Structure formats: C-alpha cells, structure tokens
Amino acid sequence: MLHAARQPSALQRRPQQRSDQPRAAARAPLPCPRRTLQRHRGAAAPPAALPPHAMLPAAAALGATAAAVWQASRLARVPELAYDPGSSFAASVLSRCPTLTQYEYRPVPFLTNAHVETIAIAKLRSNPRLSFRREILLTKDGGAVAIDWEHADLAEHDLPEDAPVIILLPGLTGGSSDTYVQHAVQQARAVGVRAAVFNSRGTAQSPVLTPQFYSASFTGDTREVIDHVRASFPRARALFAAGWSLGANILVNYLGEEGAATPVQAAVSMCNPFDLSVSNAHLQRGFNKIYDWNLAASLRRIFLGHVELWRNAAPPLRPDLVPAARTIRDFDDAITIHSFGWPSVDAYYEGSSSARRIPDVAIPLLCIQAANDPIAPAAAIPYAAIRANPNVTLAVTPCGGHLGWAAGPGAPWGHPWTDGAVTEWLASVQIELLERRKGAPAAGGSDGARSVAAAAASTTSASTSTGVSAAAGGW
C-alpha cells in the first residue's frame, strides 16, 4: 500500500538562504552616543556609603575634630599683659609690639592641652640642624663651660662687627642641640643678630673639670660668660640675653644681683619657674610626675658620665645616692645643695627662686609665660613684684605648655610663637633707648628710663606704625 508523501510544515517551507548572501545582524542597533550623553549628563552618582563598622569611628573623629577646633578658637586671645601702669618706657615699647598687644595668640587645634603640646612639640618640632663653632671658657674656679656660636661660614663672615649679640641660656640639661634653641639662633640670624648659646657645665657635651655642676642660683658662670662675650665683641651695638625655664631663672637672678651694672641692655625670660617651691610641688601632681622623672633621668645621665670626679668627694656630698634619684628633688638633695652650701633642699628652693630678684632688675626685662605650663605653673608668677618694677613686662599666653608655644607663622612644627614676639620686643627696646639717648621727651611718671638710659648703646632700627622691622644689618 502506497502512503502519501509527508508535506513540509510552514516553517519547513521557508526558503533557505543562500550561503553567498550576507546574514542579517541579529542584535539591535547601538543607541546614539549623543542621546546617551544627554540623558546621563548632570545625573549625580549615588554617594558611596560607609560600611557599618566604619561609621562610629568616623563620627568620633569628626566630633573630636570639631571639639578641637572649638577649643582652639575659645582660647584664641591677645596675651595677658602686666607691667607698671606708670612706666612710660614699658608702654612706649609695647606700642610697637602688635604681637603682644594686638594680635590674638591662636593655638593649633589638638595642641591646646598642656601635656599634648609639651610632649608633641618636644618630639616633633623641626630641627634646623645648625652648625656651631664651640668655644670652651675656663672659669675662675677651675671649671669650664661651652659657648656655641653659629658656624663662622654661616654667620660671622657676613655679620658686621657691630651687629647686636644675644646670649641664650637653655633650660635644665638643655643645650645648643635642642630644637627651641636652634630656632632662636636661626631667628636671631634672620634679623642680623649674632647668637651665642651658653651650655652649662656638663650639658651638650660641655666638659666637667671639677665636682660641681650648676644650680638655680649659681650665677658665677653666667657672669663670666656675659663678660667674655662682651669683651669678644666690644663694638656690638647691643648685648641681649634670653633664657628658658631654669636658664630663665638663673638669668633673672643674675640681673637682680647686678642691677644697673650689667652690660646686658635688655633681656627675656621664658617659662620661668620663678618660685621653685611652688613649681616643684606642682611637679609632684598627677601626670606632671612624668616631667620630673624625665628631667631627673637627664641629670643622672650627665652625672654618671663624670662620676669619677665625685668618687673621692668629701661629705656631705652623696654621689652614692644619685643612681637612685628618681626626682629633681632627690638629685638636689644628693648633690646640688651640698655643692653650693645650702642647708636643705627647701632652703635652696626658697633662696634660689628668681621671683625674689624681680624688684632689683634695672634693665628692660620681658617675661613670657604660658597659663597652662605644667612645669612652670602660673601660680608661681610674681604678678605684684612685676607690676611694681617699671623695667619689667609680663606677657601670659592662654596656652603653650612648656617650651611649646605652637602658634603663629611657624606652627605647629616650625619655630615657636615666642621667636617673633621676642625679636619684635627687643627691636622696640632698641628704638626706645635710641630715642631717649637723643633726648626725646618722655611722659612723666615713674618710668624705667633712669635705669636703662645708662646702658643704652647707639642703635639702628626701622619702625612702622604697627610694629617693628629689623634692618638688614641688625637692629
């Protein structure tokens, strides 16, 4: 039986395409690029969301930053000034010092805490790494100190012989290698002033030839250094001095002892402990003990580096107690009071406090303190004595820690705020002394002219209506 042939379906009946004919494109045509660009133009990408685990730390960081900025702005203010209201000399000098009288001291956020600023600046401040020429000065008692001058190739070859000279006295165990000292030398050089750093016995690798270091009241070495520097540059137009911390205390003691007889024409004291009993008691509180232990460790290192000189020392010296000295008071009890003839540590602190010498200072003296200094507390500042002496001016910044002062154009890790304030004030003093030497009339009242006029030397300065700028060749 024959079956009918199977008919192809409609799909099967579709004619096949010849292989030599091009196959139609299977995908849709590409959209117009211009239309696509216009469609997406101006459409913001969705913000990237923080993962949940990062939101809390980010919020905390933002809050801490806002709090730090707020705290810094709250503390921004013009330094507090104290001086004899009847002193026309002090008032006239300050009139050329906008850094002290007009411009706010603006601390850096995150560096307003006394301890944070003190420690962070000590560790992170930039170091100019200046080169020095060392001069060893043998003292009358057989000892020696080191005077470091900025290297001749960098300073003395292009500073005239009559350039002003400033002697710098670092703090306890400090020296010419400390960053705050190096910045001060650099700043002095920038305004044409020759700087000499006085390194006390044993500090900054200075030699120790006798069983004696230095103390808060021993001014013998300071006197010899000042006289030597003055004799080394007899044509210098001016001789200044500036000290920090213990160096400031020693300097003010010296100025009080010498009175108007000192060859120094103007001086600056910074972060001065003033009352050693108050300051030492302050060091025994809370976190401040860290500074006490650290400074005592520095004293021990200096002592142990020269321990042979003390091995045969006669009583009451107790070199055997030094390795166990954990505080400055311990060291003073073992060595300092016996080296300088004090009956007790308390008697030494009372008799060595420079606050008691403020009434005897007879040259222009600027004292700069930080209200939150953890080592030289504000409670030790002799406000009454300063206001009673027409030669002395006090400026207190709202913060600054100890040797910090991270504010101004050098903040936070460059030169401290004090560098600009000090050079500005010294230049203004020079102008005032020059005007009074020329017979410029001064306002009435109890001023400091009678004390400072005799010490004035010829000066060259340039002044402006808002402040003082140093001439290229010095003040």
- From the list 217, 402, 415, 451, the catalytic residue is 402
* Known catalytic membership, residue 84: no
DSSP 289-305: HHHHHHHHHHHHHHHHT
* Known catalytic membership, residue 151: no
Containing H/E element for 241? Answer: strand 239-244
Give the C-alpha separation, 382 to 77, whole Å: 22
- From the list 84, 178, 292, 373, the catalytic residue is 373
Give the C-alpha separation, 59 to 250, whole Å: 49
3-class SS at 147? strand
The answer to whether 185 and 149 have CB atoms below 8 angstroms apart is no
* Known catalytic membership, residue 461: no
- From the list 245, 269, 353, 428, the catalytic residue is 245
Give the C-alpha separation, 376 to 369, whole Å: 8
| Interstrand relation of 239-244 and 365-370 (parallel, antiparallel or unpaired) | unpaired
CA distances from 428 to 339, 442, 452 (A): 41, 15, 14
Burial of 127 (0-12, 13-18, 19+ CB in 10 A): exposed
Provide the β-strand partners of residue 198: 147
3-class SS at 194? strand
Active site residues: 245, 373, 402
